[in-house]
Amino acid sequence: MTVLARRLFLALFAVLTLATPALAAGRAPVILVSIDGFRAEYATRGLTPTLAALAADGAWAPEGMRPSFPVNTFPNHYTLITGLRPDHNGLTDNTMYDAARPGVKFSMGARDQVQDRFWWDGGEPVWVTAERAGVKSFIMFWPGSEAEIHGVRPSQWSVYDEALPAFDRVDRLLGWLDLPAAERPGYMTLYLEDLDTTGHHEAPDSEALNQALGRVDAALARLTAGLKARGLYGKVNLIVVSDHGMAPTAPDRVIFLDDLAPMDAVTVVTIGTVSGFIAKTPEAEAALLGEHAHLACWRKAELPARFQYGTHPRIPPIICLPETGWVLTTREWAARRPPPRPGGSHGYDPEDPLMRALFVAHGPDIRPGSLLPVFDNVSVYPLIMRLLGLPARPNDGDPEATAPALR
């Protein structure tokens, strides 16, 4: 090689190293897929052959992954990518208030709040650390990805669009892998909510739910087929998770808040399954606290220690938790809704097997045939960071919980 040729080679190598640090370091890209509401048990129904194939040739937690409290969508999605429990990452529930923003209510449907970093800066998601290290992150619909968290955005992100079909989402992700090497992401996410929606409306043991499992598996089949067509199957680390499970509910398993305390003496922050309240009078507080039929209520500082929840200022002063399958509501709210029917919900005790979430991993850095015992979902984050070759931020996870899944 001539001196000129060598200089050109070194210059090109330097450019590629700066442009694609994950690949230059010998790291395989990571794709994190969330199937919202996928109860761990669903994977044993024989209706998801693509998922079963990934599990058989990769790592699987057969009895599921334990979600964090409260067992709701936004808190657990943010826990998965920060390694921090909701009590520490600030996403304390799907609905929140903060004294620093008087009169402002955060909710999943409040676009201006979802896009405000104020609510998210309590944690540092994978993509923020990755982008700062030069690893491009392309994020599809993951909670938090619409905000400029710590002043950093993913290289690509999208405003959540529930109407975008699952196959179109998969095709968009596969298109990212068709980009020139210097533009290709090292970290990607995909989010699918069909199963959660069906589980709420039709119940987790319904035929409709089983059909939704088929649709979810078809989306995974499209993803794996696309990877194979590109020669990338087995060369990309694929992690498939869910945020929580799903329990059956019924019209005769309803608790009315009105029967516990006067409604004009209670401010409702969240209600349904795990619920949060502000009592306006000592009498209302006394009426709420304690054991009730199919319901327990605590001051937030007195919650069972195993919930690891109750210190963050965004958590309401009183937290109530129904028994699994029961729903807390108000008579006024119930009167405005259609007659109740069997359905499903989450937000119950994270120790209940019905709340356990999915975990499957497959790829060049995953040990085939590895079976993991039940572990806490905070430990997904250190696994992702290890696969990316990036230093994990301080977190609540245990790297040893998923270490057996690694080659």
Q: Are 318 and 299 in contact (CB under 8 A)?
A: yes
- Name the nearest CA neighbour of 373 among 347, 400, 396: 400
Q: What type of residue is 47?
A: L
Residue of 20, 73, 79, 198 marked active site:
73
Q: Are 253 and 293 in contact (CB under 8 A)?
A: no
Q: Are 180 and 207 in contact (CB under 8 A)?
A: no
**Which distant-in-sequence residues (6+ apart) come within 8 Å of 197 by Cβ?**
37
How far is Cα 174 from Cα 244, in angstroms, rounded to an integer?
26
The enclosing H or E element of 246 equals none
Cα distances from 198 to residues 24, 36, 83, 128, 390, in angstroms, run 42, 10, 28, 32, 37
Residue indicated by tokens 């993509």? 127
Say whether 197 is catalytic: no
Cα distances from 172 to residues 16, 142, 275, in angstroms, run 24, 15, 37
Quote helix, strand, coil % in the chain, to nearest 5: 40, 20, 45
- Name the nearest CA neighbour of 67 among 51, 86, 41, 52: 86
Determine the angle formed by the axes of helices 380-388 and 73-82, rounding to 10 degrees. 40
Enzyme catalytic residues? 73
